[in-house]
């Protein structure tokens, strides 16, 4: 590998996707306690924001719907409300992911990708239960199957494109997060599918494989969202009931 290829691989490996890239810390000397509190605060604000929306539309606060008597409020009610909010958000995101799969069958899918990503961003702060990392209570790491940044590696996506590993059964069945799947991979396939890490394909073959790979990744995301919803649904594995009585 020459110097140019080495630089290209380094850039591709470390580059974060544009649509969910996080800004660098403004002051690395700040107290750790201060900057470690930011993710928790962002999660609370994100859940509040998402729960004030229905299918992407912000809900107006109508004074007539307010109650003058706050009455009693229990921990169980708070958990149940948060669970209902999460499930509703997951349902919308699952529907948008399914729409993306359908769009890729009839066109380039770019508009549907934007809608699916927007729905995912509302769901992302709700990383508890099956959507959370496997080390958390009830966590199954489903979120990390859909979005792998900061572990995203463009060169691994290109290798999968060239080797056609997206056609193998193992590609979609292994449970650990993979830099060759998820929204960050799909962004590359839909918007920037070129080979920058040393491999080559002729233009026609690259396009054929790009389309096929994108369909596999979109279907994988949609299946994982559908599975997430099923794990929460009262008619499914009912994690909603579990969190309400935790």
Give strand pairing partners of 58.
Answer: 53
The predicted-structure confidence for 101-160, as pLDDT tens digits, reads as follows 999 999 999 999 999 999 999 999 999 899 998 887 789 989 998 998 888 899 999 999
Q: pLDDT-based confidence at 14, cuts 50/70/90?
A: very low
Q: What is the mean pLDDT of residues 45-56?
A: 53
Between 91 and 194, name the one with better pLDDT: 91
At 76 the three-state DSSP class reads helix
pLDDT at 209: 96
The predicted-structure confidence for 165-211, as pLDDT tens digits, reads as follows 999 988 877 655 578 899 999 999 999 989 999 999 999 999 999 99
Tell me if 227 sits within 8 A of 129, measured CB to CB.
no
Average pLDDT score over the chain:
78
**pTM of structure:** 0.74
pLDDT at 137: 78
- Rounded to whole angstroms, how far apart are CA atoms 96 and 90? 10
pLDDT tops 70 at residue 45: no
Tell me if 186 sits within 8 A of 142, measured CB to CB.
no
Tell me if 225 sits within 8 A of 146, measured CB to CB.
yes
pLDDT tops 50 at residue 213: yes
């Amino acid at each position: 590998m020459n110097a140019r290829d080495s630089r290209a691989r380094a850039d591709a490996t470390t580059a974060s996707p544009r649509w969910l890239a996080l800004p660098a810390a403004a002051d690395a000397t700040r107290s750790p306690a201060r900057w470690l509190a930011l993710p928790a605060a962002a999660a609370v604000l994100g859940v509040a924001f998402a729960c004030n929306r229905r299918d992407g539309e912000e809900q107006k606060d109508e004074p007539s719907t307010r109650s003058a008597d706050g009455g009693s409020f229990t921990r169980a009610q708070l958990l149940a409300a948060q669970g209902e909010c999460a499930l509703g958000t997951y349902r919308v995101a699952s529907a948008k992911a399914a729409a993306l799969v359908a769009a890729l069958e009839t066109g380039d899918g770019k508009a549907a990708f934007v809608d699916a990503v927007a729905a995912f961003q509302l769901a992302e702060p709700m990383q508890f239960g099956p959507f959370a990392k496997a080390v958390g209570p009830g966590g199954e790491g489903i979120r990390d199957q859909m979005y792998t940044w900061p572990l995203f590696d463009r060169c691994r996506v290109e290798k999968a494109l060239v080797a056609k590993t997206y056609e193998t059964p193992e590609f979609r069945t292994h449970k650990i997060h993979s830099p060759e799947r998820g929204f960050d991979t799909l962004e590359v396939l839909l918007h920037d599918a070129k080979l920058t890490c040393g491999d080559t394909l002729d233009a026609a073959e690259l396009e054929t494989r790009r389309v096929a790979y994108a369909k596999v990744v979109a279907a994988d995301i949609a299946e994982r969202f559908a599975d997430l919803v099923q794990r929460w649904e009262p008619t499914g594995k009912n994690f909603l009931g579990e969190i309400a009585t935790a």
